[in-house]
Amino acid sequence: MAIETTQEYQIQETRLQEIKNTLEEMTKKEDIDLSKVVALREEARTLAKDLKTYLKITFDTKS
């Protein structure tokens, strides 16, 4: 998913933080659903790549 606006960037950045918090909470539990951990990790990886790409494009364009 390509991020094209600052608002989309903020939404995706917030989602990435939510995933981080969820994973932190999950590690405190004794029974961890590994399939959910893997799914969240993959989503986080995709979001991080998209956020990085948006920043790269934004700052390359403004230079």
Q: How many domains, the chain?
A: 1
Asked if residue 1 is part of any domain, the answer here is: no
Closest CA relative to residue 2, chosen from 62, 63, 52, 60:
52
At 58, give phi and psi (nearest 5°). -60, -50
Asked if residue 49 is part of any domain, the answer here is: yes
pLDDT 10s digits, 4-56: 999 999 999 999 999 999 999 999 998 999 999 999 999 999 999 999 999 99
With cut-offs at 50, 70 and 90, classify the pLDDT of residue 61: confident
- Decide if pLDDT at 59 tops 80: yes
- DSSP annotation of 30 reads S
Taken in order 29, 34, 36, 41, the sign of the CA dihedral is: positive
Asked if residue 44 is part of any domain, the answer here is: yes
* pLDDT value of position 7: 96
- 37: containing domain: 6-62
* pLDDT value of position 62: 66
Asked if residue 13 is part of any domain, the answer here is: yes
Residue spans of alpha helices (H) in 1-63: 6-27, 34-62
